[in-house]
Amino acid sequence: MQLERAKIDYKTIDIIFITHCHNDHMCDLNSIIHAMNFTPGFDRKKPLILVGAPGFRRVYETMFQPISKKPRPGTYKIIVKEIKGKTIFGHFSVECEKTIHSNTSIAYRFTEKGKSLVISGDCSFDRGIIELSKNCNVLLLECSFPNSAKNIVARVGHLIPDDCGRIAKEARVKNLVLTHFYPGFSETERLRDTKKIFKNTILAKDFMKIEI
């Protein structure tokens, strides 16, 4: 529904990247595949590529394929890729880095024509996410909790504003965008505290567009 509201045609999606296999980060996958399979008058022909960390193929085959089913004969194929390191997808490249959150969690760096976007997914602070983000144009970081919840993030593997600001500053990124806000805490407080460390920070909002 959000894709439709953003005027993005789900039927044109070529590749779906999964950061990790937690329900809130991949639960819409079945809906998208189901729509591609059963939209009246639409027979998809080009493959749909699903990308995830090592182990993702088994998750797809056991949790998703039994529900969404295989594409109808004579239409398209679903190609599952387990990514490690750097991979080229047509006109852009993708690098990934294991993150501290779950067994399958990774962050992605997308690069095209010298411009780069890093998406953290869920993660804890570590040197890996800093190295992956070095000098990128836009860094999209989760900021699940405020600084006051530091003890919580230590247990569940998430970031707080101090972590986000430090990652962006040490990686020397150009722009930092915060997302993945757990409810019950002030988003403006998280923005304020992050900007104390890294000034060029904004909050992500639904339907936001950023030109790189």
Domains of the chain, by residue range, sit at 1-82, 109-206+208-212
- Report whether pLDDT(79) > 90: yes
Are 76 and 48 contacting, i.e. CB atoms less than 8 angstroms apart? yes
**CATH number listed for the domain at residues 109-206+208-212:** 3.60.15.10
For the stretch 13-49, pLDDT in tens is 999 999 999 888 998 999 999 999 989 999 999 999 9
Q: What is the pLDDT of residue 204?
A: 97
Condensed to tens digits (0 to 9), the pLDDT of residues 172-188 reads 999 999 999 999 899 99
Give the span between the Cα atoms of 167 and 175, in whole angstroms. Answer: 12
Is a pLDDT exceeding 70 seen at residue 154? no
Per-residue pLDDT band at 167 (split at 50, 70, 90): very high
User: Residue 148 corresponds to which amino acid?
Assistant: S
Classified as helix, coil or strand, 176 is strand
In this prediction, residue 23 carries a pLDDT of 87
Distance, CA of 143 to CA of 193 (rounded, Å): 11
Question: Torsion over CA of 181, 99, 10 and 114, rounded to 10 degrees?
Answer: 110
